[in-house]
Amino acid sequence: MSRRTLTHLHKLKAKGEKITCLTAYDASFARLIDQAGIDILLVGDSLGMVIQGHDSTLPVTVDDMIYHCQQVGRGSDQALLIVDMPFMSYATPRTAFESAARLMGDGQAQMVKLEGGDWLTETVQMLTERGIPVCAHLGLTPQSIHQLGGYRVQGRTDIGAECLRDDAVALQSAGASLLILECVPGNLATEITALLDIPVIGIGAGVECDGQVLVLYDLLGITPGKRPSFSKDFLQETGSIPAAIEAFSSAVKNGTFPGPEQTFE
């Protein structure tokens, strides 16, 4: 079977069918996730924390992302393969193009993901015009953690919510094909999901998004330190890694995850 495409994901949104996404960093886990029928494999810069042991994603490099993207690609052949662009690898449109070209060429990713609002519209347009698909990321953006003042829910004020809505529309207009919304109130995520034509994937953003993503290590309950409140330990309930991944997929598709306890108001 060939890899899933953006066309497939857009059809899922149109039909009201949920999209599933998990992070992956190596071939073995990628194979298990692929076998469970997960739609998207995200090679996340979260590897800086769960693999490398850093306290943030900031030290991760483009070379790190290429290395892990290659591994994930070798372990999978069905899921759409998205790779994070690490901190400062897209500070300017030119830098972004050079970094993305390496991630797509050497890393063999199908899409790149970058964090930020309307200041990225020129970059998104430049990349998409050159055949590089872009997944945008709004809300809690971990690469901006020091500027945000910590891991805080975003968009709770009227001004913050308006800014997120405007950013989402601007990024879609610039050419973004997917949007990840992280740590925003469920009602705001519902509004943005309905507002956009592109699929919206939530993480701590309520059940009404077009799909859900989790860090694999959170799903398995093995993330070092405190696990995010919007996550769920599916391994504890199922007793095996393949069953935990299957349980996540089923819970997303039938609308039982995230529940109220994993949703912000």
Mean pLDDT of 209-231: 93
At residue 112, the 3 state secondary structure works out as strand
In the chain, % of residues over pLDDT 90? 89
In the chain, % of residues over pLDDT 70? 97
Band of pLDDT at residue 143, cut at 50, 70 and 90 = confident
Mean pLDDT of 35-49: 97
Instruction: Answer yes or no: is 138 within a domain.
Output: yes
Cα–Cα dist 229/249, whole Å: 19
| Per-residue model confidence as pLDDT tens digits over 165-197 | 999 999 999 999 999 999 999 999 999 999 999
Instruction: Answer yes or no: is 80 within a domain.
Output: yes
Instruction: Answer yes or no: is 186 within a domain.
Output: yes
In this predicted structure, what is the pLDDT of residue 3?
87
Cα–Cα dist 259/128, whole Å: 35
Torsion of CA 83, 89, 90, 92, to 10 degrees: -160
**Residue range of the domain that includes 214:** 6-262
Mean pLDDT of 200-224: 96
Output the domain CATH number for residue 51: 3.20.20.60
Cα–Cα dist 254/134, whole Å: 28
Instruction: Answer yes or no: is 1 within a domain.
Output: no
Cα–Cα dist 220/209, whole Å: 22
Cα–Cα dist 134/113, whole Å: 6
Instruction: Answer yes or no: is 202 within a domain.
Output: yes
Contacts of 39 (CB under 8 A, 6+ apart): 4, 8, 9, 12, 19, 20, 21, 79, 80, 211
The number of distinct structural domains making up the chain is 1
> Residue 124 corresponds to which amino acid?
V
pTM of the model: 0.96
Task: Please tell me which residue in 182, 191, 208, 261 is annotated as part of the active site.
Answer: 182
At residue 160, the 3 state secondary structure works out as helix
Tell me whether residue 182 is one of the annotated catalytic residues.
yes
In this predicted structure, what is the pLDDT of residue 226?
80
| Per-residue model confidence as pLDDT tens digits over 95-109 | 999 999 999 999 999
